């Protein structure tokens, strides 16, 4: 019997039988062909069909990435981003007790990159990020993590008074496409991918071999 994260993914697959892939593709801005859709997630392209999620590059992928993509294709979200970003912890949630979730996302990035902004910027570029703003020690990077769900990282370099600071921001419309708990999964996948991309210099090939 599968447990944990594998079980989450396995339980989502039967729900695809009720998914209108062509309608979802049109609503989410995805490519539809031969009964499935193609979607870009963290600089890798996947095919989602009745049997689940498969990366087109045939490289290993963490099961959490697969689950995020199933939550996404099964969502009823519609519309476009407003280009108005709010802190991740400000996203409305249905379950209480998740106030520490945002710090759990920020802290690994702050610990990993510390004062090495160059290392962060190089990984951000590889993961498809673009620098939107740079003022002194503050740098704002934007990523199209999923179609319709952009994400920003605000990186504050350390100075004589303050340590390095990282803040994760989502477009305020993100909650229309994924519930908070699913967004937390998505942001966790992004944080993991950013650190691993910095570590290995590539966006693929390290899942499973090096753990989540």
In this structure, the answer to whether residues 60 and 109 fall within a common structural domain is: no
Structural contact between residues 7 and 14, judged by C-beta atoms closer than 8 angstroms: no
Summarize the confidence of residues 53-81 as an average pLDDT.
95
d(CA 54, CA 80): 26
In this structure, the answer to whether residues 142 and 97 fall within a common structural domain is: yes
User: Which of residues 74, 103, 123 is at a domain's end?
Assistant: 74
Q: How many domains does the chain have?
A: 2
In this structure, the answer to whether residues 108 and 152 fall within a common structural domain is: yes
In this structure, the answer to whether residues 125 and 196 fall within a common structural domain is: yes
DSSP labels, 6-54:
HHHHHHHGGGGGG--HHHHHHHHT-EEETTEEEEEETTEEEEEETTEEE
Q: Which domain holds residue 190?
A: 85-200
70, pLDDT greater than 50: yes
Residue 130 lies in a domain: yes
Q: In the structure, what pLDDT confidence band is assigned to residue 212 with cuts at 50, 70 and 90? A: very low
In this structure, the answer to whether residues 20 and 91 fall within a common structural domain is: no
Residue 47 lies in a domain: yes
* CA terminus-to-terminus distance, the chain: 21
Summarize the confidence of residues 77-96 as an average pLDDT.
84
152-195: per-residue pLDDT in tens? 999 999 887 888 999 999 999 999 999 998 999 999 999 999 99
Average pLDDT, the chain: 90
In this structure, the answer to whether residues 114 and 160 fall within a common structural domain is: yes
- The residue that leads in pLDDT, 126 or 97, is 126
In this structure, the answer to whether residues 101 and 194 fall within a common structural domain is: yes
Question: If we measure between CA atoms, which residue out of 39, 19, 20 comes closest to residue 29?
Answer: 39
- DSSP assigned state of 201: S
d(CA 156, CA 52): 39
In this structure, the answer to whether residues 70 and 96 fall within a common structural domain is: no
In this structure, the answer to whether residues 193 and 92 fall within a common structural domain is: yes
In this structure, the answer to whether residues 106 and 186 fall within a common structural domain is: yes
In this structure, the answer to whether residues 119 and 49 fall within a common structural domain is: no
Q: In the structure, what pLDDT confidence band is assigned to residue 1 with cuts at 50, 70 and 90? A: very low
In this structure, the answer to whether residues 59 and 150 fall within a common structural domain is: no
Residue 212 lies in a domain: no
Q: In the structure, what pLDDT confidence band is assigned to residue 211 with cuts at 50, 70 and 90? A: very low
User: Which of residues 74, 96, 120 is at a domain's end?
Assistant: 74
Residue 210 lies in a domain: no
Residue 206 lies in a domain: no
User: Which of residues 47, 74, 101 is at a domain's end?
Assistant: 74
15-61: per-residue pLDDT in tens? 999 999 999 999 999 999 999 999 999 999 999 999 999 999 999 99
Residue 122 lies in a domain: yes
């Amino acid at each position: 019997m599968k447990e944990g994260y594998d079980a989450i993914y396995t339980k989502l697959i039967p729900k695809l039988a009720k998914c209108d892939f062509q309608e979802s593709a049109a609503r989410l801005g995805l490519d539809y062909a031969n009964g499935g859709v193609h979607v870009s997630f963290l600089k890798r392209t996947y095919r989602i069909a009745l049997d689940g999620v498969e990366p087109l590059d045939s490289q290993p992928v963490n099961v959490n990435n697969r689950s995020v993509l199933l939550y996404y294709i099964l969502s009823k979200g519609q519309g476009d981003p407003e280009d108005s970003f709010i802190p991740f912890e400000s996203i409305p949630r249905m379950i209480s007790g998740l106030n520490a979730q945002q710090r759990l996302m920020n802290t690994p990035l702050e610990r990993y990159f510390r004062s090495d902004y160059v290392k962060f910027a190089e990984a951000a570029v590889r993961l498809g990020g673009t620098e939107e703003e740079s003022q002194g020690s503050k740098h704002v990077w934007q990523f199209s993590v999923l179609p319709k769900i952009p994400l920003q990282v605000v990186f504050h370099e350390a100075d004589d008074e303050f340590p390095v600071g990282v803040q994760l921001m989502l477009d305020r419309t993100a909650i229309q496409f994924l519930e908070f708990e699913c967004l937390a999964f998505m942001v966790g996948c992004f944080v993991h991918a950013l650190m691993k991309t910095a570590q290995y210099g590539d966006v693929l090939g390290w899942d499973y071999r090096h753990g989540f």
